[in-house]
């Protein structure tokens, strides 16, 4: 598929998705979500891709739904729009069996915040900000916002952000668990690249299983979690990366994982 609203690059096992509508703070469109899904699909199939980074061009990360598309909201089947677009995009990120890094370069609002939250890990520029913008225009959080935000910051903070729609700065985001790292804007790209390279060097199958088990564990019982872990561990214990991890430990050297 031709990419018109994102830039897709691959470098050193990392697939970069750069949202590329900077004059609109990378506001999401139907087309953009299809392009993101396209890259996520190919990243999932391609064994050489061992990490995905989502970031934005210009001063914004993503300002949520492009409200120009909503000028005539009465004409739009919103449920179908979400089901066929943003919901699939969010699920594809959460379910991708590879690490996904959200590199939040600027403002993340509405579905743009949900997009950042769907990523496994988040690095933010000290210029970044975060807002549950939906309430400002009379909507509820969507694109996973009601599920992802309370899991990141707890129900009380999620409610406060969702009901006020206020802008949360990078330092507060770090303190409340909304992001994992904050770096100065002038070192943002370099730091995001370095973290992505570290993620791409991990034992990818174990990453995928860890994502899956933690997500399932939050909603299930301990006995179900114990059983899922036992089954997953058997699969991983037979993997080349496990053999390499043990050999490297015993040889007192750094492991060289291949993702198999
Ligand atoms: O069916 C469905 O899909 C429903 C799904 C809904 C999901 C949602 O995401 S709903 C929430 C939509 N997003 C918003 O409501 C956020 C709107 N934007 C803002 O509140 C502000 O732009 C920000 C707080 C994000 C940033 O403010 P600021 O002052 O830094 O920038 P700005 O001047 O407001 O924006 C810069 C330009 O981007 C501006 O255009 P201009 O004046 O230079 O020509 C602005 O209109 C444009 N822009 C920003 N956000 C959007 C947008 N254009 C279209 N849609 C946007 N969401």
List, for residues 188-198, the tens digit of each pLDDT value.
Answer: 999 999 999 99
Which residues contact ligand 1 via a Cβ below 6 A?
Answer: 24-25, 27, 63-68, 78, 81-82, 86, 107, 109-111, 133-134, 136-137, 139, 142
**Per-residue pLDDT at 225:** 97
Helix residue spans in 46-81 (DSSP H): 78-81
Helix (H) or strand (E) holding 172: helix 170-176
**Per-residue pLDDT at 55:** 98
For atom 15 of ligand 1, the residue with the nearest CA is 133
Number of the ligand 1 atom closest to the C-alpha atom of 112: 9
**Per-residue pLDDT at 76:** 83
Instruction: Report CA(28)–ligand 1 centroid distance (Å).
Output: 10
Burial 171-206 (b: 16+ CB within 10 A, else e): ebbbebebbeebbeeeebeebbbebbeebbbbbbbb
**Per-residue pLDDT at 209:** 98
121-152 pLDDT tens trace: 999 999 999 999 999 999 999 999 999 999 99
Q: What is the mean pLDDT of each run of 10 residues along the chain (260 residues)?
A: 97 97 97 98 97 98 94 84 96 98 98 98 98 97 98 98 98 98 98 98 98 94 97 98 98 97
CA-nearest of 241, 203, 211, 245 to 228 is 211
**Per-residue pLDDT at 75:** 78
Number of the ligand 1 atom closest to the C-alpha atom of 111: 9
Number of the ligand 1 atom closest to the C-alpha atom of 85: 3
Burial 53-66 (b: 16+ CB within 10 A, else e): bbbbbbebbbbbbb
Q: How far apart are the C-alpha atoms of 134 and 107, rounded to whole Å?
A: 14
Instruction: Report CA(56)–ligand 1 centroid distance (Å).
Output: 14
**Per-residue pLDDT at 199:** 98
Instruction: Report CA(187)–ligand 1 centroid distance (Å).
Output: 26
Q: Is 123 helix (H, G, I), strand (E, B) or coil?
A: strand
Number of the ligand 1 atom closest to the C-alpha atom of 139: 10
Mutate to test the pocket of ligand 1, among 109, 134, 168 (most ligand atoms within 8 A of CB): 109
Instruction: Report CA(109)–ligand 1 centroid distance (Å).
Output: 8
């Amino acid at each position: 598929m031709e990419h018109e609203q994102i830039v897709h690059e691959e470098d050193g096992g990392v697939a970069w998705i750069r949202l590329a509508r900077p004059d609109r703070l990378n506001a999401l469109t139907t087309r953009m979500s299809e392009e993101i899904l396209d890259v996520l699909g190919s990243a999932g199939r391609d064994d050489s891709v061992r990490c995905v980074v989502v970031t934005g061009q210009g001063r914004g990360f993503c300002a949520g739904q492009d409200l120009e598309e909503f000028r005539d909201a009465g004409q739009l089947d919103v449920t179908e729009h979400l089901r066929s677009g943003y919901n699939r995009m969010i699920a594809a990120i959460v379910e991708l069996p590879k690490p996904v890094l959200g590199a939040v370069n600027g403002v993340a609002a509405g579905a743009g915040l949900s997009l950042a939250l769907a990523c496994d890990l988040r690095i933010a520029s000290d210029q970044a900000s975060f807002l549950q913008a939906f309430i400002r225009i009379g909507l509820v959080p969507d694109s996973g916002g009601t599920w992802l935000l309370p899991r990141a910051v707890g129900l009380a903070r999620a409610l406060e952000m969702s009901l006020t729609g206020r802008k949360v700065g990078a330092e507060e985001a770090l303190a409340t668990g909304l992001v994992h790292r904050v770096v100065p804007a002038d070192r943002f790209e370099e730091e995001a690249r370095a973290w992505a390279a570290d993620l791409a060097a991990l034992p990818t199958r174990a990453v995928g299983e860890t994502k899956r088990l933690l997500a399932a564990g939050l909603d299930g019982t301990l006995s179900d979690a114990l059983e899922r872990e036992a089954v997953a561990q058997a699969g991983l214990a037979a993997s080349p990366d496990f053999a390499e991890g043990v050999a490297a430990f015993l040889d007192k050297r750094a492991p060289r994982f291949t993702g198999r």
